[in-house]
Amino acid sequence: MALSGEDIVLNEDGNQIRDFVNVHDVVSAHLVALKDSRANFEAFNVGSGRQTRVRDLAEVIAKEAGVSVSIKTPGLYRIGAPRHSPSDISKLKALGWAPEHSVADGVREYIEWIKQYPESKKFLHATLRSMHTSGILR
């Protein structure tokens, strides 16, 4: 939405909490678990260890995209989505792992990647319509 010059539309009120993790940190967490026998037969949460409000993520997106857009909360919500979903990464930290990338790092990297595919903008509204039609987004 931001790269299309459109206002950023958030579900709920934008105050829901998520733990956004960079893909590079996910890869490094997997490698730590693969290489450390203490991880055998264990389950791990992979996250950034930081709680981020969705509204704050939208502000980072607008800043990193270099656009001036509004953030709208029209009261939409996605069926089945939890209000908050933090991650407890203490088990991975006990193996010596720690995330190295910020939310802004991930946003910056994603923006640079998606700019290579300008045709992706046409899928935004089709996807939103599909979510409404199927009842996933109300």
pLDDT in tens, 54-72: 999 999 999 999 999 999 9
Q: How many structural domains does the chain have? A: 1
Q: How far apart are CA 103 and CA 124, in angstroms?
A: 22
pLDDT at residue 4 greater than cutoff 90: no
Give the predicted TM-score (pTM) of the model.
0.87
Q: List the CATH number of the domain containing 111.
A: 3.90.25.10
- On whether residue 2 sits in a domain, the answer given is no
pLDDT in tens, 18-62: 999 999 999 999 999 999 999 999 999 999 999 999 999 999 999
Q: What's the DSSP call for residue 7?
A: P
61 close to 107: Cβ distance less than 8 angstroms: yes
- On whether residue 3 sits in a domain, the answer given is no
Residue 43: per-residue pLDDT: 97
What range defines the domain where residue 118 resides? 8-134
Of 69, 73, 74, the closest CA to residue 2 belongs to 69
pLDDT at residue 7 greater than cutoff 90: yes
- On whether residue 124 sits in a domain, the answer given is yes
- On whether residue 1 sits in a domain, the answer given is no
Which pLDDT band holds residue 124 (cuts at 50, 70, 90)?
confident
Instruction: Please spell the DSSP secondary structure of 11-76, one letter per residue.
Output: STTS--EE----HHHHHHHHHHHHH-GGGTT-----S-S--EEHHHHHHHHHHHHT----EE--S-
- Give, in degrees to the nearest 5, the angle at Cα 98 between 95 and 104: 160
